[in-house]
A and B are shown apart, each in its own frame.
Chain A
Amino acid sequence: MPTLLEIQRAVRRSLLAQNGEADAYVVPDGLAPDARLSVYRNTIHGTLTTALRLS
C-alpha cells in the first residue's frame, strides 16, 4: 500500500504537471483517473487566475 506521502506527492505532480503519476492510485469507476483529477485541476487554475485578476 502506498504511503500518504507517496499519494499526496503523486497527486500534486499530476495536478501541476499532468504527468499521470497518480492515475494508478485512483479508482476509475467509469471515468479516466485524470478526468477525475481534472475537476480539482480546473478549480486550482480558476482560483489562482481569479487571485491574479484581483491583485
Chain B
Amino acid sequence: MSHQPAAACSPIPARAGIGLRFQHHQAVIEDKPQVAWLEVHTENYMGCGAPLRDLDVIRREYPISLHGVGLSLGSVERLDLGHLACVRRVAERVEPALVSEHLSWSTSGGVYLADLLPLPMTEEALEAVCHHVDQTQSCLRRRILVENPSTYLRFRHSTIAEWEFLAAVAARTGCGILCDVNNIYVSAANHGWHASDYLTALPSSAVGEIHLAGHSIRELDGGRVLRIDDHGSRVIPEVWQLYSEALSLFGPVPTLIEWDTDVPPLDTLLDEAARAEALLRCASESVARADAA
C-alpha cells in the first residue's frame, strides 16, 4: 500500500539538523540557534506537560521530525494500538515534516523490552514488518521512514541480507528509508559486512533522511571488539567518509546529528551539524554542476 506524504507546517530541507533533547529546550527557545531543523523522540512528547508546551513554541521556528522508538514494527504480535494512537496524537499536534521508526522489535508477550531488538531476516519477519508499516501509514495517513538499527547479533535462520530486507520493506509499503550511516558502519564492523556495499544496495530514491552519531568500542577477550551504538560522542572520521559516499549515491538528503548519552552543550551539536552542512553543500553543488552539464 503506497502513501503520499501529508502536508506539514514546514518541510525538512536537505540540510543538517540536530536531535533536540530536554536539556536544550530553553536554549533553543531563547537563543534560536542557526540550525535548519530539529528531530525529537515521539515518545518524549506523549504526555501533556512542559516538554510538549515547549515543542509547541519551538515548532513555530523550526521544521520538526518525529522519530519513534517504541512502535515495535517487527513484533510478530499485533501493534499496540494505544501506542499508535499516541503517535498519531503527537503527529496531529506537531504536524511534523517527517515521521520515522525502526526496523526492529521491542514487544513480546505483552512485555516492552526497552531496546531496538534485531530481527531474523526471514520472509515471515518481512511480512510482519510490512503489515505493521502499512498499518502505521494508514493510521497516520502519511508515509513514514524506517531506519536500519545497529545490531550486535545475527540469527542462524536469516535468509535475506539486511539491506535487501530494508529495500523490500520500502518497495512493498511505499515507506521511505532513514539511512543511519553510523548504524551501517557499526553493524558492518560487527558482522564483517562491507559498509559501502550496504549503501549501494539501498534504493536511492527511497532514502528520505540520514542519521549520524558517535559510537563506543567494547574490547572483548581475544582482541576482538564490538562497536556499540550509544550516541555518546562525536561522529568518527570513518563514518564521515561513509557519509560522503552516501551523499554521492543519494544526493543531498536531510541529515541529523544524534546525541543521546552524556548530552553535550548545544554548541557541540551545532558544530557537528556544521560539518554535515558543509558536506551537504558540496553534494548540492555537485548536483547543480551535473544538471548544468
The contact size tier of chain B is: 20 to 34
* A10 to B47 CA separation, bound complex (whole angstroms): 33
- Known contacts A12-B108, A40-B117, A44-B114; is A25 also within 8 Å of B152 by CB? no
In the complex, B235 has a CB within 8 A of chain A: no
Q: What are the interface flags for A11-40 relative to B under an 8 Å C-beta threshold, 1 for contact and 0 otherwise? A: 110011000000011110111010111011
Task: Give A7's nearest chain B residue, CB to CB.
Answer: B120
Query: Do B153 and A27 touch (CB < 8 A)?
Result: yes
Query: Do A31 and B220 touch (CB < 8 A)?
Result: yes
Binds A, one of B57-65, B167-175, B221-229, B268-276: B221-229
* A9 to B128 CA separation, bound complex (whole angstroms): 15
In the complex, A55 has a CB within 8 A of chain B: no
Most central of B108, B120, B153, B154 by chain A CB within 10 Å: B153
Sample of 22 A–B contacts (CB below 8 Å)? A4-B119, A4-B128, A7-B120, A7-B155, A8-B76, A8-B117, A9-B109, A16-B113, A27-B154, A31-B226, A33-B153, A35-B220, A36-B152, A36-B153, A39-B218, A39-B226, A40-B115, A40-B117, A40-B152, A44-B113, A47-B114, A48-B114
